Amino acid sequence: MCHRFLERMLLRDSQLYPWLMQVDCDLAQEAKGGGCLWCGERLDSAAYPRKPRGGPTDLAEGYSRRLSFCCADCRRRLTPPSVRFLGRRVYLGAVVVLVSAMLHGATPARAARLHELFGVSRRTLARWRDWWQRAFAPSAFWRAARGLLRSAADVATLPLSLLCSFEGRDDRDRLVATLRFLSPITTGSASRAGPS
């Protein structure tokens, strides 16, 4: 993965972001169809605003809304998994994954280029690197889910090794597969109600 790939993937690929939005809509419809996880009642739309960073400036208007639901009876919130957002991070999930993958062998010049392309500061890059190594790698999710991968992902080079664990027609397919794999960690709703 090189800077040219990142530029093309994130800044010029006109199909990636609408595709991720469609995947999120499908995940939301699936969650809504199941009703409230706690009482089984109907779910009403309760999307909330986000200010995603790092993507193209011409994202569709709906892209800045995190799809979510509220129970019509008990009023508990259900936020379905997402491939667009990686939890509460303000940068888009694709940016966090790909830019973090570029951190392996990071040089001051590479960090400057990443800042130029995506507006990500060195402190943010350091926090992401730390998160992959100290929070994600020892997490219960990673311990359980890494066994589902076709090829082993090296913890020391996460998320690059995770991206390389997936097959696809092209790098975009591998990125989408990685974001789908990570989608359970993008919400706390499902984990509070139990495993799905």
Residues with Cβ within 8 Å of residue 18, at least 6 apart in sequence = 60
Element (H, E) at 49: strand 48-49
CA 189 remoteness from chain centre: 16
Q: How far apart, in whole angstroms, are the C-alpha atoms of residue 60 and residue 117? A: 20
Cis peptide before 18 (omega within 30 of 0): no
Helices 93-102, 171-182: crossing angle, 10 deg rounding: 110
Name which of 185, 131, 125, 126 is nearest 158 in CA terms: 131
Q: How far apart, in whole angstroms, are the C-alpha atoms of residue 186 and residue 130? A: 18
134-168 per-position pLDDT tens digit: 999 999 999 999 999 988 899 999 998 999 899 88
193 pLDDT more than 50: no
The answer to whether 181 and 166 are in contact (CB under 8 A) is yes
Tokens of 49: 């605003």
In angstroms, what CA-CA distances link 88 with 53, 84, 127, 165? Answer: 12, 11, 14, 25
24-80 per-position pLDDT tens digit: 999 999 999 999 999 999 999 999 999 988 888 888 888 999 999 999 999 999 999
Q: How far apart, in whole angstroms, are the C-alpha atoms of residue 29 and residue 63? A: 16
Beta bridge partners of 78: 69
Q: Is residue 195 very low, low, confident or very high in pLDDT (cuts 50, 70, 90)?
A: very low
pLDDT of residue 182: 97
- pTM score of the predicted model: 0.87
Rounded to a whole number, what is the largest CA-CA distance in the chain? 54
Domain regions of the chain by residue span: 3-193
